């Protein structure tokens, strides 16, 4: 007879399978066409959709061609006016109807999702589907409140939306609900591995009586996605790999299409010595073993403080060994199947490379047989440069490194191109909030991980993309304010460099660049002439120096808004006192007023506290980008400079500004005002010269985090294209603004000068 303890240890879980029949009945011999203009069209070329847990076929869906995409866009275009014209309340009712119907079919959605994607039923049932429903309810509310809460804004029109396979229905909800609430119509392309719940959703659109053409769904692979990007849409919203995000950034450059990108991540999971270690171990389970690790914001790099590293690692290994990998429809399964054999091979390939590079692999057992099952894995004894620490693996694989001090933790955490999420574990609130403020990530969870809610903005910094989804902040991605109503800007006349000898002679009489708080000769030593004045001809090297100076002036981003306001008020006063020295005369008085205006905002553009579902204080903090490039408008050499550079620095950014090429004197002369106003060196840097070339240099620069371009269409296009390297958000405007009117000081300048960081702070005694 075994003892009770032994018996408990010997006991295994009994199987607790959810029946697949509800989904199988729905799927019966189905071959799905696209959903266009309120109906499923007859499929042409199709491909098989499979169940990754068995390898079996589930259905056939159509491979969308460029013509299919064009038809869908046409339908969406046809529906756009009518949909936007409905009152917010009327649109809200449609969204409520969709939410209700989804709720009614919760079980079907959950089973279908698990069959198609391989995720455990526990997760599709308790997380994916309820959250998707919640998104529709929440955004029904935004539809209702749109006119009140977003005055002066309108929908983009037709939105192309491309989503990945890791949360098929949830990503649909994140994209479709806000787009519809804002009054857009959509063409959505689900991922080729997991199109089924989107097609079920299409059926609900019919049942809910949604006007035809408001939602269109075209299935297919990356080629279909690329066709949608090229189609006549007004906005593209994409979630997927950083690689494809780059392609889309390049393809949409210069088209005027609005763009939001939610891309990859390599998020840190930081465990401090004073953390509740058992809670943190459970946290790892939710961070990297949730959804087979196929989560963009997965905590995939554990950083643990040295003194607790051994204890923590041992407990983690013990916990990992207990994870149950297997049938996704079994309710006691922790880890289901990886979405596709291709993804499984990718995961294994990366782990092999990590091991070749010296990492030590620990893994739990995994079932034999068909199906793309992957063991949960822990990689230890590896350096920061190991491929497992630099590449997104998108599988149940976590790395572990140690740190000594909080400073070192921050350094390691930020040692990545990405900036999607971070998870911090400590019982010390001061430490937690301090580290949260220093980590470069769009979402920070304190003593938690992978928490989501429709009323919590989600999205990345750096190469994790830009734009937010969810909450008030996410609604902005689907609205536009159309403030640039002037003519298309023209490129300034080409400038001609003065011969080196002339430049050389005159070099002490010429004006100079302003870099790092000092006047600097341009690196090349050349100048160009404007109305008899000699203007420094800045180049690539000068931009690099200016960016470096701006980078060093990081203290400006940390001082309080009050401090910044004081400096800007002083600047406005000094500009006023010297008004007589400045030209053009008709811009000076307004430039002074504008400087006061942005000074007033410096300590008032606050973040928000969002109420989410669960015991959390969810903060949406507005943070500066850091170093920004500003290509000031040609058309208002003084007022345009002040109107663009000052809001950027008021929000805590440091700026490299390129003034008007044809009339740079007013901006260059501002250095005296900057010098006498306690603006720290490096906060504003001014580089004159060939604007198009300087813009490209800024666009390509990896240390420039955001770029504003008020220039001709060609310069805008080039800036957007070249920004694909580090995926900086670019605000490119080729139509002139009326800088003397309300458009010269609108809310957009504030919105575009900050990025939102969502910090989840839990409570509960
Ligand atoms: P992917 O980025 O290729 O797929 C995402 C979506 O984009 C799919 O709907 C796909 O059909 C579409 N797509 C592909 N090429 C396109 C193009 N040229 N133009 C427009 N749309 C296009 O991701 P994939 O290949 O499925 O996975 C590869 C890796 O990407 C994963 O291992 C993972 O590291 C990462 N990934 C990250 C996701 C995230 O949410 N951060 C989601 C999916 C993948
Ligand atoms: Mg599938």
Instruction: Give the strand pairing for 518-520 and 513-515.
Output: antiparallel
Q: What is the spatial distance between Cα 675 and Cα 650, in angstroms, rounded to a whole number?
A: 17
Least confident of 232-236, 297-301, 377-381, 494-498: 494-498
pLDDT in tens, 369-386: 789 999 999 999 999 999
Q: What is the spatial distance between Cα 173 and Cα 267, in angstroms, rounded to a whole number?
A: 24
pLDDT computed for residue 508 by the predictor: 52
pLDDT in tens, 68-119: 999 999 999 999 999 999 999 999 999 999 999 999 999 999 999 999 999 9
Q: What is the spatial distance between Cα 645 and Cα 637, in angstroms, rounded to a whole number?
A: 12
Task: Give the distance (Å) from ligand 2 centre to CA of residue 116.
Answer: 4
Which ligand places an atom closest to the C-alpha of 166?
1
Task: Give the distance (Å) from ligand 2 centre to CA of residue 299.
Answer: 25
Is residue 269 within 8 A of residue 302, CB to CB? The reply is: yes
Q: What is the spatial distance between Cα 406 and Cα 418, in angstroms, rounded to a whole number?
A: 20
CATH class of the 30-263+475-480 domain in this structure: alpha beta
Which ligand places an atom closest to the C-alpha of 249?
1
* Phi, psi (degrees; rounded to nearest 5) at 305: -70, 140
User: Which of ligand 1's atoms lies nearest the C-alpha of 263?
Assistant: 41
pLDDT computed for residue 520 by the predictor: 96
pLDDT in tens, 3-18: 888 887 777 778 889 9
Q: What is the spatial distance between Cα 288 and Cα 269, in angstroms, rounded to a whole number?
A: 10
pTM of the model: 0.97
Which residue has a Cα nearest atom 28 of ligand 1?
241
643-679 burial string, b = 16+ CB within 10 Å, else e?
bbbbbbbbbbbbbbbbbbbebbbbbbbbbebbeebeb
pLDDT computed for residue 53 by the predictor: 97
User: Which of ligand 1's atoms lies nearest the C-alpha of 226?
Assistant: 19
**Fold annotation for 268-459:** Aldehyde Dehydrogenase; Chain A, domain 2 (3.40.309)
Helices (H) and strands (E) in the chain, counts: 28, 32
Inform me whether the pLDDT recorded for 321 exceeds 90. yes
pLDDT in tens, 554-568: 999 999 999 999 999
Select which of 18, 113, 192, 262 is catalytic: 262
Cβ atoms < 10 Å from Cβ of 747: 16
Show the tokens assigned to 140.
Answer: 């029904």
Q: Is the dihedral angle over the CA atoms 171, 177, 179, 184 positive or is it negative?
A: positive
pLDDT computed for residue 507 by the predictor: 47
3-state helix, strand, coil in the chain (%, to 5): 45, 20, 35
pLDDT computed for residue 501 by the predictor: 55
* Mean pLDDT taken over the chain: 96
Which residue has a Cα nearest atom 33 of ligand 1?
394
Task: Give the distance (Å) from ligand 1 centre to CA of residue 294.
Answer: 12
15 closest CA partner among 322, 330, 328 = 330
According to DSSP, residue 404 is labeled S
User: Which of ligand 1's atoms lies nearest the C-alpha of 221?
Assistant: 11
Cβ atoms < 10 Å from Cβ of 352: 12
Show the tokens assigned to 726.
Answer: 């580090």
* Domain boundaries defined on the chain: 30-263+475-480, 268-459, 497-608+624-754
- Residue given tokens 């198009």 in the structure block: 692
Q: What is the spatial distance between Cα 186 and Cα 76, in angstroms, rounded to a whole number?
A: 6
Task: Give the distance (Å) from ligand 2 centre to CA of residue 181.
Answer: 29
pLDDT computed for residue 366 by the predictor: 84
748, burial (CB in 10 Å: exposed 0-12, middle 13-18, buried 19+): buried
Q: What is the spatial distance between Cα 433 and Cα 406, in angstroms, rounded to a whole number?
A: 12
Establish whether domains 30-263+475-480 and 497-608+624-754 are of one fold: yes
According to DSSP, residue 470 is labeled S
At what angle are helices 196-207 and 106-117 packed, to 10 degrees? 160
- C-alpha angle with apex 493: 488 to 498, nearest 5 degrees? 155
**Helix (H, G, I), strand (E, B), or coil: what is residue 137?**
helix
Question: DSSP characters for 494-527?
Answer: PP-BPPHHHHHHHTTTS--EEETTEEE--TT--E
Ligand 1 and 463: CB distance under 6 A: no
> Mean pLDDT throughout 252-281?
98
pLDDT in tens, 567-624: 999 999 999 999 999 989 999 999 999 999 999 999 999 999 999 998 999 999 999 9
> Mean pLDDT throughout 685-711?
98
According to DSSP, residue 334 is labeled S
Non-local (6+) Cβ contacts of 543 within 8 A are 656, 687, 694, 697, 698, 701
Is residue 80 within 8 A of residue 107, CB to CB? The reply is: no
Residues with Cβ–ion distance below 5 A, ligand 2: 116, 193-194
Least confident of 434-443, 531-540, 681-690: 531-540
> Mean pLDDT throughout 233-247?
98
Cβ atoms < 10 Å from Cβ of 572: 24
Q: What is the spatial distance between Cα 58 and Cα 112, in angstroms, rounded to a whole number?
A: 10
Ligand 1 and 729: CB distance under 6 A: no
Question: DSSP characters for 18-56?
Answer: PP-HHHHHHHTT-EE--EETTEEPPP-SEEEEE-TTT--
694 closest CA partner among 535, 537, 530 = 537
According to DSSP, residue 386 is labeled S
Task: Give the distance (Å) from ligand 1 centre to CA of residue 346.
Answer: 13
Q: Find the Cα–Cα–Cα–Cα dihedral 500, 504, 505, 509, rounded to 10°.
A: 120
Inform me whether the pLDDT recorded for 668 exceeds 90. yes
Ligand 1 and 565: CB distance under 6 A: no
Ligand 1 and 397: CB distance under 6 A: no
Show the tokens assigned to 642.
Answer: 């002040």
pLDDT in tens, 498-530: 876 555 555 456 799 999 999 999 999 999 999
> Mean pLDDT throughout 241-252?
98
Show the tokens assigned to 405.
Answer: 């001090």
For residue 58, what are the CA distances in angstroms to 33, 107, 197? 15, 17, 12
627 closest CA partner among 514, 712, 517, 544 = 544
Q: What is the spatial distance between Cα 700 and Cα 719, in angstroms, rounded to a whole number?
A: 8
Quote the longest CA-to-CA distance of the chain.
104
pLDDT computed for residue 564 by the predictor: 98
What percentage of the chain reaches a pLDDT higher than 70? 99
Inform me whether the pLDDT recorded for 420 exceeds 70. yes
Which residue has a Cα nearest atom 19 of ligand 1?
226
pLDDT computed for residue 676 by the predictor: 96
Mutate to test the pocket of ligand 1, among 66, 69, 128, 164 (most ligand atoms within 8 A of CB): 164
Which ligand places an atom closest to the C-alpha of 219?
1
79-114 burial string, b = 16+ CB within 10 Å, else e?
bbeebbebebeebbbbbbbbbbbbbebebbbbbbbb
- Residue given tokens 């701006």 in the structure block: 550
pLDDT in tens, 328-358: 999 999 999 999 999 999 999 999 999 999 9
Which neighbouring-strand residues pair with 619? 609, 759
> Mean pLDDT throughout 434-461?
98
- Residue given tokens 């590449």 in the structure block: 391
* Phi, psi (degrees; rounded to nearest 5) at 120: -60, 140
Show the tokens assigned to 214.
Answer: 């408001």
Ligand 1 and 229: CB distance under 6 A: yes
Is residue 187 within 8 A of residue 73, CB to CB? The reply is: yes
Domain 497-608+624-754: assigned CATH number = 3.40.605.10
Instruction: Give the strand pairing for 35-36 and 39-40.
Output: antiparallel
Q: What is the spatial distance between Cα 383 and Cα 389, in angstroms, rounded to a whole number?
A: 8
Is residue 689 within 8 A of residue 532, CB to CB? The reply is: no
> Mean pLDDT throughout 193-210?
98
Does 262 qualify as catalytic in the annotation?
yes
Which neighbouring-strand residues pair with 304? 271, 402
> Mean pLDDT throughout 441-453?
98
- C-alpha angle with apex 190: 188 to 193, nearest 5 degrees? 170
Q: What is the spatial distance between Cα 641 and Cα 108, in angstroms, rounded to a whole number?
A: 57
694 closest CA partner among 546, 554, 515 = 546
> Mean pLDDT throughout 64-69?
98
Inform me whether the pLDDT recorded for 744 exceeds 50. yes
- Mind spelling out the 3-state secondary structure of 174-192? HHHHHHHHCCCEEEEECCC
């Amino acid at each position: 007879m075994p003892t009770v303890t032994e018996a408990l240890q010997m006991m295994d879980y009994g199987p607790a399978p959810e029946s697949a029949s509800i989904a199988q009945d729905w799927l019966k011999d189905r071959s799905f066409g696209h959903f266009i203009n309120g109906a499923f069209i007859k499929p042409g070329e199709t491909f098989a959709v499979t169940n990754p847990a068995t390898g079996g076929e589930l259905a056939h869906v159509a491979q969308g061609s460029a013509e299919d995409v064009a038809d869908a866009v046409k339908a969406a275009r046809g529906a756009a006016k009518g949909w936007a014209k409905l009152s917010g309340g009327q649109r809200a009712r449609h969204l409520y109807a969709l939410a209700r119907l989804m709720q009614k079919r919760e079980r079907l959605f959950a089973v279908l999702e698990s069959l198609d994607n391989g995720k455990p039923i526990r997760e599709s049932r308790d997380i994916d589907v309820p959250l998707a429903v919640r998104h529709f309810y929440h955004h029904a509310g935004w539809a209702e409140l749109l006119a009140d809460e977003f005055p002066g804004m309108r929908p983009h029109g037709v939105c192309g939306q491309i989503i990945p396979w890791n949360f098929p229905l949830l990503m649909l909800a994140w994209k479709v609900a806000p787009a519809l609430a804002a009054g857009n119509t959509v063409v959505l392309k689900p991922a080729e591995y997991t199109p089924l719940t989107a097609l079920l959703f299409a059926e609900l659109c019919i049942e809910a009586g949604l006007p035809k053409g408001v939602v269109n769904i075209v299935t297919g692979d990356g080629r279909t996605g690329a066709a949608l990007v090229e189609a006549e849409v007004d906005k593209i919203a994409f979630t997927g790999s950083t690689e494809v995000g780059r392609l889309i950034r390049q393809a949409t450059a210069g088209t005027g299409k609005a763009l939001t990108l939610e891309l990859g991540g390599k998020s840190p999971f930081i465990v401090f010595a004073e953390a509740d270690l058992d809670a943190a171990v459970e946290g790892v389970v939710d961070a990297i073993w949730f959804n087979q690790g196929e989560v963009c914001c997965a905590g995939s790099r554990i950083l643990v403080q040295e003194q607790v590293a051994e204890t923590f690692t041992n407990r983690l290994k013990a916990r990992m060994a207990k994870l149950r990998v297997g049938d996704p429809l079994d309710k006691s399964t922790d880890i289901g199947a990886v979405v596709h054999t291709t993804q499984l091979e990718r995961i294994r390939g990366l782990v092999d490379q990590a091991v070749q590079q010296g990492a030590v692999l620990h893994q739990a057992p995994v079932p034999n047989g068909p199906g793309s099952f992957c063991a949960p894995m822990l990689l230890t004894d590896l350096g920061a440069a190991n491929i497992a620490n630099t590449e997104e693996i998108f599988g149940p694989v976590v790395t572990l490194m140690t740190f000594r001090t909080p400073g070192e933790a921050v350094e390691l955490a930020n040692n990545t191109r990405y900036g999607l999420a971070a998870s911090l574990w400590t019982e010390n609130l001061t430490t937690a909030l301090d580290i949260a403020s220093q980590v470069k990530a769009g979402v920070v969870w304190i003593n938690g991980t992978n928490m989501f809610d429709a009323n919590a903005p989600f999205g990345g910094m750096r190469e994790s993309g830009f734009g937010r989804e969810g909450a008030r902040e996410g609604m902005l991605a689907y609205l536009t304010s159309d403030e640039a109503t002037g003519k298309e800007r023209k490129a300034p006349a080409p400038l001609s460099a003065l011969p080196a000898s002339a430049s050389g002679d005159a070099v002490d009489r010429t004006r100079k660049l302003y870099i790092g708080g000092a006047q600097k000769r341009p690196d090349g030593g050349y100048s160009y002439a404007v109305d008899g004045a000699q203007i420094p001809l800045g180049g690539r090297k000068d931009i690099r120096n200016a960016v470096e100076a701006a980078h060093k002036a990081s203290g400006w981003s940390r001082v309080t808004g009050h401090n910044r306001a004081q400096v800007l008020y002083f600047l406005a006063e000094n500009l006023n006192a010297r008004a007589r020295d400045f030209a053009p005369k008709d811009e000076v008085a307004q430039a002074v007023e504008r400087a006061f205006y942005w000074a007033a905002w410096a300590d008032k553009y606050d973040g928000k506290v969002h109420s989410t579902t669960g015991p959390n204080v969810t903060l949406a903090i507005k943070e500066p980008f850091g170093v920004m490039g500003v290509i000031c408008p040609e058309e208002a050499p003084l007022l345009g400079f002040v109107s663009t550079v000052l809001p950027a620095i008021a929000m805590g950014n440091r700026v490299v500004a390129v003034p008007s090429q044809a009339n740079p004197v007013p901006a260059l002369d501002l250095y005296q005002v900057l010098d006498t106003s306690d603006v720290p060196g490096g906060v504003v840097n001014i580089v004159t010269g060939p604007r198009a070339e300087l813009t490209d240099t800024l666009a390509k620069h990896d240390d420039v985090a955001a770029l504003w371009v008020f220039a001709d269409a060609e310069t805008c296009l080039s800036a957007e294209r070249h920004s694909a390297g580090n995926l900086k958000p670019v605000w490119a405007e080729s139509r002139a603004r009326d800088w003397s009117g309300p458009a010269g000081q609108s809310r957009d300048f504030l919105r575009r000068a900050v990025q939102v960081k969502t910090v989840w702070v839990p409570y509960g005694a």
